[in-house]
Amino acid sequence: MPPERRRRVRQDRKTQVRPDRRAGAQWGGPPRKAASSCQQKSLAWPRAAPAAISVEAEEENRLRLRNRLMLEEDKPAAERCLEELVFGDVEDDEDALLRRLRVPLVQVQEDSDDSEVEKEAKDNFLPQKKPVWLDEEDEDEEMVDMMNNRFRKDMMKNASENQLSKDELQKRLKEEFQHAMGGVPAWAEANKWKTPSDDESEEEEDDLLQRTGNFISTSTSLPKGILKMKNCQHANAERPTTARISSVQFHPRAQVVMVAGLDNAVSLFQVDGKTNPKIQSIYLEKFPIFKACFSANGEEVLATSTHSKILYVYDMLAGKLIPVHQVRGLKEKIVRSFEISPDGSFLLINGVAGYLHLLSMKTKELIGSMKINGRIAASTFSSDSKKVYASSGDGEVYVWDVNSRKCLNRFVDEGSLYGLSIATSRNGQYVACGSNCGVVNIYNQDSCLQETNPKPIKAIMNLVTGVTSLTFNPTTEILAIASANMKEAVRLVHLPSFTVFSNFPVVKKKNISLIHTMDFSPRSGYFALGNEKGKALMYRLHHYSDF
């Protein structure tokens, strides 16, 4: 090739320029006008890096667009239509979709005034959209069936309330809750909550940060589920017997427990949970003890027999045993079951033929008698000693006024054929009735006084034989229930959840046997049971720190 032609070819190659992608030129389009060689040399070095970045971005966008088109071809037409309705037509611009989904954040500077902040917030936040459609059935008042649910059925006041609205059902549930709790709890009252001022809250926070220590304290209320307890030495370990234990009771003021049984003896033991040393034993000849009980002040012990009309009174201060052979006006041939009022003023003797005899605790003289229909199964005083609750053999419960000795109310214990036991709580809130079928109905005391057909708050059905013993603990957090007709038939019920503690009794050990009597210590630290094998079992309840 001639030299002149070779120089011309090289000059044409230098002047040839590729299409500029930054300017939006398409592939295969007309090339841009080539610049002179001197201009290219002068502009090449500062634009080299931006040009490379722009080429990479264009290549990435091209690949992304190609992948999207391939995906769109595989999608059904219905799916593509739904995406357009939800996200809009954003095929050409993904940034538009990101801008629509991005939540604007409003940053407020300290020196900006309120009007600027409000204006900025209005400009940045998107307007709220109206709902696409409304369901007319949502606005209609839905009715709830009351007949096909046994829990709702109990809340019906009359037969016409087959259906209730949701608002009415909510009101009825609130009434049932307040009825069960004896009123509105303190935590549920809105006016009890006080909002402290900013200065007070800042002072409390400063004081909190300046102190160290354990700021988490244990709850004072007894938790449900598991009852932390320990098996202690038997209360009567220092005086063993094989005769049935008929009574076990803790002294109201001293750390002493009394154990009495069919072996004609009343024994007192010091409670330490380890050896429980014996203090004293009183032997009553030919007098198998049916029941023994401390007086309210703890200065006397009263005891009755299974086949005698004599009432023994043991004066603990003087150390004298006083037999009461005859009570003037009392014609009972056998005196067995009795109750002492919590204030220590009255002695109530359950007679035959439905008679309840009220005696003066001080003089042991008859004050008056009350009569119910049928046989008296059990009786007890209210916590204020002003009322007497009596359960009859016909399944009815009678409420008597102590002062006037008039019947205040009478109702049928729900589901009971005949009653076996009855107990009232120390705080005056609950009445528990045990029946022959193993059901324990727990009532509110106010409903027992005011309603002719009160409904139980809860029916405890954990026993299958007749409930012969019922005992509330002093704090009204535990209800002990037991049956003397089946071994290991004893349960501890948590209040106010009305659930049974799952860890008592321990069925595998089977050391409880048939329970005839139960009692809690004055501050619920100990729990004692007496069985037919002559053992007074005792447990330490760890939740309560005192005796």
Q: What would the pLDDT profile of 337-347 be if each residue is shown by its tens digit?
A: 999 999 999 99
With a CB cutoff of 8 Å and minimum separation 6, the contacts of 306 are 262, 288, 289, 290, 336
Asked whether the predicted pLDDT for residue 15 surpasses 80, the reply is: no
pLDDT at 431: 97
Q: How confident is the model at residue 375 (pLDDT cuts 50, 70, 90)?
A: very high
Instruction: State the distance between the two ends of the chain, measured CA to CA, in whole angstroms.
Output: 123
pLDDT at 219: 60
Greater pLDDT, 116 or 273: 273
From 151-160, 223-232, 345-354, 466-475, the region with the lowest mean pLDDT: 151-160
Q: How confident is the model at residue 199 (pLDDT cuts 50, 70, 90)?
A: low
How far is the C-alpha of 514 from the C-alpha of 239, rounded, in Å? Answer: 20
Q: How confident is the model at residue 49 (pLDDT cuts 50, 70, 90)?
A: low
pLDDT at 392: 94
Q: What is the pLDDT of the chain when averaged over all its residues?
A: 81
Asked whether the predicted pLDDT for residue 69 surpasses 80, the reply is: no
Query: What is the arithmetic mean of pLDDT over 528-544?
Result: 96
Q: How confident is the model at residue 508 (pLDDT cuts 50, 70, 90)?
A: confident
Query: What is the arithmetic mean of pLDDT over 44-54?
Result: 55
Query: What is the arithmetic mean of pLDDT over 238-242?
Result: 95
Single-letter amino acid code for the residue at 66: R
pLDDT at 332: 85
Put simply, whether the predicted model's pTM sits higher than 0.85 gets the answer no
pLDDT at 121: 47
* Element housing 305 (H / E): strand 300-305
Q: How confident is the model at residue 190 (pLDDT cuts 50, 70, 90)?
A: low
Determine if the peptide bond prior to 505 is cis (ω within 30°): yes
How far is the C-alpha of 337 from the C-alpha of 421, rounded, in Å? Answer: 12
Asked whether the predicted pLDDT for residue 248 surpasses 60, the reply is: yes
Asked whether the predicted pLDDT for residue 20 surpasses 50, the reply is: no
From 143-152, 212-221, 276-285, 510-519, the region with the lowest mean pLDDT: 212-221
Greater pLDDT, 399 or 14: 399
Strands in 310-453 per DSSP E: 311-315, 320-324, 338-340, 346-350, 355-360, 366-371, 376-381, 387-392, 396-401, 407-412, 419-424, 430-435, 440-444
Asked whether the predicted pLDDT for residue 23 surpasses 50, the reply is: no
Q: How confident is the model at residue 54 (pLDDT cuts 50, 70, 90)?
A: confident
pLDDT at 136: 63
Of 346, 342, 492, 501, the closest CA to residue 425 belongs to 342
Asked whether the predicted pLDDT for residue 487 surpasses 70, the reply is: yes
DSSP codes joined into one string, 240-282: ---SPEEEEEE-SSSSEEEEEETTSEEEEEE--SSS--EEEEE
Asked whether the predicted pLDDT for residue 106 surpasses 80, the reply is: no
Asked whether the predicted pLDDT for residue 504 surpasses 80, the reply is: yes
Of 480, 486, 485, 484, the closest CA to residue 460 belongs to 480
Asked whether the predicted pLDDT for residue 395 surpasses 90, the reply is: yes
Query: What is the arithmetic mean of pLDDT over 434-450?
Result: 95
Query: What is the arithmetic mean of pLDDT over 328-332?
Result: 83
Of 543, 547, 492, the closest CA to residue 273 belongs to 547
Asked whether the predicted pLDDT for residue 29 surpasses 50, the reply is: no
Asked whether the predicted pLDDT for residue 2 surpasses 70, the reply is: no
Q: How confident is the model at residue 150 (pLDDT cuts 50, 70, 90)?
A: low
pLDDT at 151: 66
Asked whether the predicted pLDDT for residue 407 surpasses 90, the reply is: yes
From 92-101, 322-331, 400-409, 429-438, the region with the lowest mean pLDDT: 92-101
pLDDT at 40: 44
Asked whether the predicted pLDDT for residue 37 surpasses 50, the reply is: no
Query: What is the arithmetic mean of pLDDT over 449-461?
Result: 94
